[in-house]
Amino acid sequence: MSKRTDRELVDAAREGDSEAFGTLMRRHQRRIYRLALHLLRDAAEAEDATQETFVRAYGALDRFDGRSEAFTWIYRIAVNLSLNVIRARKPNRKSVSTDDPRLEGVLVETRAGSANPLGDSENRELGRVLCEGMDALSDTLRTTLILVGVDGLSHAQAGEVLGCPEGTVAWRVHEARKKLKVFLVERGFAPKGEEGAA
Amino acid sequence: MSDRRSSSDLGSTAEATLSAFPFPERDWESDARAIEARLLNHVRGSTDDLLLAAPLPSEADEPTAASASATPLTNSGVRTQSLAEIARRSLEKKQANERQMARESLALAAQQRQLTVQTDVLRTATGVSAVTPASAAASGGAPGSAAVAAPQPWPKFALALPVLALAAAALFWFRQPAPAPLTVNASAPAAPSAVASSVVAHQRPPATQELPRGVDPNSLPGEAAPASEPASAKVASATAASAPARVATGKPGAKGERATPDAKSVDQSLPPDPTLRPADSRGGELPAKPSSGAVQAALGAVLGGARHCVAGDDAPSSAVVVFGSDGRVQHVTVSGSAAGKSSASCIEAQLSRARVQPFAAANFSVNATVRPE
């Protein structure tokens, strides 16, 4: 049996096939969790947001009009829920701490390939500065950069998630990267081009 | 472009880290079960509409949606343009240039006519209308400007001008009740004097003489002629508007020239010349149907989005796109594997964004195949 598309799964779930929605959920939960983690910078909140995203998506299945991809529609719900959590936070909350779950991922990665401890340390530091730089961006630029730069969505898909034209997405990504570059340069991570990869 | 690319390049290491940002793995299956447990008690339709709305506000200096969508940036920040977009801009630029050229031609023609009228008045008033070009050249001046250039005739002109004005006014007074015969046949002098007949004749010159060739007054914004003004009314308005009354040139058979430099009042009496009409979207003739290139470009611009709709499908779908005469899509009929599914409405929405130039036929249909990505 061929793999069912997202649309077919949505159609089936609309007609009461709960297994179809489960399949859809398992297909996208990792990406939704990663998106929420980068937006919220808190593992517990990201987990809650991921759960809530699928529950709300299930509740709104009848309003999915098929004009966009099913996963971009779910992404939009996840972004909205994450932004609601951010707005509800206390304003004096520190965004980046030593136990930032995003950095935890970087640590796990560098431990796995520990042939070059110095390089691992640099990568860790680069990851930390990158996280700080992204946190310094506005919600709009940060979310767009996460969708395109981190999650790998195309401009068209990010435009569907954010409800704006592709050109606007491209402009936001460009602006976000420009600001991020300034942030990195100020902290001693000037781009080295191809040499930086060595 | 290179500046744009380099100004946002983070360097290869940072780029690699950003694009492959790791995150800790979880027990996804238990997470999924927890969600499914919640779904058992969840009611469909209870989700707030706000969660489905576009989430983020625009940035302060963000470009507008129209300009941003016109020339989107690629992932690397390079601005691109579709062929259809380039063609559309080129056409708009050409039309704008032609309109500008037409306006300048009108202004120039009006200036020249005004100068001619003034010169004729001077020539008549100073009695130099009989001066031949040869004698004018012999006296050291240009033939057309002999009267103006000569210093001696000016006092005579000053004395003759009020008399001439009175004569012209009296002539208008007598001629106004029956202007039609005079205006219809301007080359047949019916007045007792050549000066009088010519003055009236110039109030309503032949239509073909009033505008520079190639200028369609209907194509110029703000200069469209009012609908069907009677000839007598036109003469009356021209008479009222004609400040510099023109006198005879001494050639009874010569065609009249414009009596007033006011381009608007004269333009109203002219039919457009279709053979020399500028390529204006309002004045030009529409093609019977859109060109195949235009249709391909229009569909090519939206087919990418339509392919998203059938992502994952095994078989391609077909769509019949019907364009209306205004260039917009009237309706889309989807058949094939997507027919009857939600993806059909998605395809319809995507293909309905296609636009072609307006055309004369009532509608025009074209088949499109939407293949899965």
pLDDT at A25: 92
pLDDT at B158: 66
Task: Using CA coordinates, name the residue in chain B closest to A55.
Answer: B39
Q: What residues of A are in contact with residue B77 (Cβ under 8 Å)?
A: 170, 173-174, 177
Q: What residues of B are in contact with residue A26 (Cβ under 8 Å)?
A: 28-29, 32
| Range with the poorest average pLDDT among A113-122, A132-141, A170-179, B69-78 | B69-78
Is the pLDDT at A54 greater than 80, yes or no?
Answer: yes
pLDDT at A92: 58
CA distances from B218 to A49, A55, B102, B105, B224 (A): 62, 61, 11, 15, 5
Of all residues in chain A, the percent with pLDDT exceeding 70 is 81
Contact between residue A52 and residue A95 where contact means Cβ atoms under 8 Å apart: no
| Alpha helical stretches, state H, chain B | 2-7, 12-19, 28-40, 65-70, 83-125, 133-138, 146-149, 154-175, 180-184, 194-201, 231-241, 263-267, 292-309, 342-351
Q: Is A99 in the B-facing interface, judged by CB distances under 8 Å? A: no
Q: Is A111 in the B-facing interface, judged by CB distances under 8 Å? A: no
**DSSP assignments along A22-66, one per residue:** HHHHHHHHHHHHHHHHHHH--HHHHHHHHHHHHHHHHHTGGG--S
Q: What number is the ipTM of this complex?
A: 0.73
For residues B218 and B277, give the distance between their C-alpha atoms in angstroms, rounded to a whole number.
Answer: 10
Mean pLDDT of all residues in B8-18: 75
> Domain residue spans in chain A?
1-90
* Number of other residues whose CB lies within 10 A of the CB of residue A160: 24
With CB atoms and an 8 Å threshold, state whether A181 touches B17. Answer: no
Following CA atoms B245, B247, B253, B256 in sequence, which dihedral angle do they give, to the nearest 10 degrees?
-20
> Domain residue spans in chain B?
86-276, 292-370
pLDDT at B6: 54
The residue among A87 and B126 whose pLDDT is bigger is A87
| Range with the poorest average pLDDT among B43-52, B66-75, B169-178 | B66-75
Return the number of CB contacts < 8 Å for A and B: 253
**DSSP assignments along A133-147, one per residue:** HHHTS-HHHHHHHII
pLDDT tens profile B151-166: 455 556 666 777 788 8
For residues B75 and A99, give the distance between their C-alpha atoms in angstroms, rounded to a whole number.
Answer: 32
Contact between residue A77 and residue B51 where contact means Cβ atoms under 8 Å apart: yes
Contact between residue B154 and residue B175 where contact means Cβ atoms under 8 Å apart: no
pLDDT band at A67 (very low <50, low <70, confident <90, very high): confident
Q: Which residues contact A65 (CB under 8 A, 6 or more apart)?
A: B342, B345
Q: Is A102 in the B-facing interface, judged by CB distances under 8 Å? A: yes
- The reply to whether CATH 3.30.2420 applies to domain B292-370 is yes
Q: Is A50 in the B-facing interface, judged by CB distances under 8 Å? A: yes
Look up tokens 């059909």; give the residue. Answer: B344
pLDDT at A78: 94
For residues B368 and B316, give the distance between their C-alpha atoms in angstroms, rounded to a whole number.
Answer: 10
For testing contact with chain B, the best of A106, A177, A186 (most B CBs within 10 A)? A177
For testing contact with chain A, the best of B2, B23, B308 (most A CBs within 10 A)? B23
Crossing angle, helix A70-88 and helix A155-162, to 10 degrees?
60
Long-range contacts at B227-230 (CB < 8 A, ≥ 24 apart): B229/B268, B229/B269
The residue among B280 and B243 whose pLDDT is bigger is B280
For residues B101 and B144, give the distance between their C-alpha atoms in angstroms, rounded to a whole number.
Answer: 28
Q: Which residues contact B104 (CB under 8 A, 6 or more apart)?
A: none
Residue B121 CA, distance from chain mean position: 39
Mean pLDDT of all residues in B310-336: 87
For residues B348 and B342, give the distance between their C-alpha atoms in angstroms, rounded to a whole number.
Answer: 10
Contact between residue B72 and residue A158 where contact means Cβ atoms under 8 Å apart: no
pLDDT at A79: 93
pLDDT band at B92 (very low <50, low <70, confident <90, very high): confident
Return the closest-CA partner of residue A171 out of B305, B69, B21.
B69
Task: Using CA coordinates, name the residue in chain B closest to A105.
Answer: B23
Q: Looking at this protein, which amino acid is placed at residue A88?
A: A
Written as six digits, the tokens of A50 are 């991921």
pLDDT band at B175 (very low <50, low <70, confident <90, very high): low
Q: Which residues contact A26 (CB under 8 A, 6 or more apart)?
A: B28, B29, B32
pLDDT band at B7 (very low <50, low <70, confident <90, very high): low
SS3 B370: strand
pLDDT at B339: 85
* Number of other residues whose CB lies within 10 A of the CB of residue B369: 11
pLDDT at B278: 46
| DSSP code, position B327 | S
Nearest-CB residue to A143 (from B35, B56, B69): B56
Shortest Cα distance from B33 to chain A (angstroms)? 9
Contact between residue B218 and residue B273 where contact means Cβ atoms under 8 Å apart: no
For residues B240 and B256, give the distance between their C-alpha atoms in angstroms, rounded to a whole number.
Answer: 18
| DSSP code, position B300 | H
Shortest Cα distance from B74 to chain A (angstroms)? 7
Helices first, then strands: H and E counts in chain B: 14, 3
Written as six digits, the tokens of B92 are 């708009």
pLDDT at A172: 92
The residue among B220 and B350 whose pLDDT is bigger is B350
Return the closest-CA partner of residue A65 out of B347, B40, B332, B355.
B347
Written as six digits, the tokens of A73 are 């529609």
With CB atoms and an 8 Å threshold, state whether B72 touches A167. Answer: yes
Q: What residues of B are in contact with residue A126 (Cβ under 8 Å)?
A: 13-14, 17
pLDDT at A41: 86
Q: Kindly calculate the radius of gyration of chain B based on its CA atoms and give it in whole angstroms.
A: 36
Fold for A1-90, please state it: Rna Polymerase Sigma Factor; Chain: A (1.10.1740)
CA distances from A26 to A33, A156, B28, B45, B51 (A): 11, 24, 8, 22, 21
pLDDT at A33: 92
pLDDT at A77: 93
For residues A180 and B85, give the distance between their C-alpha atoms in angstroms, rounded to a whole number.
Answer: 32
With CB atoms and an 8 Å threshold, state whether A150 touches B77. Answer: no
Q: What residues of B are in contact with residue A76 (Cβ under 8 Å)?
A: 51-52, 54-55
